[in-house]
Amino acid sequence: MGRTILIYAGLLAVSVFALEWVQYQFLARRFGLEIMFMIIAVAFAALGAWVGIILSCRKPVKGFEVNVAAQTSLGITRRELEVLQALCSGGSNKDIAQKLGLSPNTVKSHIASLFSKLEVSGRVSAIEKARFLSLVP
Question: Which carries the bigger pLDDT value, residue 106 or residue 26?
Answer: 106
**pTM for the whole structure:** 0.54
Question: What count of other Cβ atoms lies within 10 Å of the Cβ of residue 87?
Answer: 22
> In this predicted model, what pLDDT tens digit does every residue of 101-117 receive, in sequence order?
889 899 999 999 989 98
pLDDT at 60: 63
Q: Please tell me the predicted confidence (pLDDT) of residue 88.
A: 87
